[in-house]
Amino acid sequence: MKRDISNLDIRIETIKNELNIKIENVSNELNAKIDHVDKDLLKEIQNNNVIFSRINEKR
């Protein structure tokens, strides 16, 4: 019985570690996607600023 409980404790700890690794991986993937979106948005803002600057120059 004690051995079964010990095995369960080990299995629970293993599962916790696996879940923490998966959570960290998902977090890293999300952060990478957010960074990519941020860069895309920054490019779009810069492009819009160029367009608006040209429009204002023509006025």
Rounded distance, CA 6 to CA 14, Å?
Answer: 12
pLDDT at 4 over 90: no
User: Angle at CA 18, nearest 5°, toward 13 and 20?
Assistant: 95
Work out the end-to-end distance of the chain between its first and last CA atoms, rounded to an integer number of angstroms: 86
Residue 39 carries which DSSP code? H
Query: Nearest Cα to 29, choosing from 40, 21, 17?
Result: 21
Question: Whole-model pTM?
Answer: 0.65
**Domain definitions of the chain by residue range:** 1-58
pLDDT tens for 18-50 read 999 999 999 999 999 999 999 999 999 999 999
The whole-number pLDDT of residue 27 equals 98
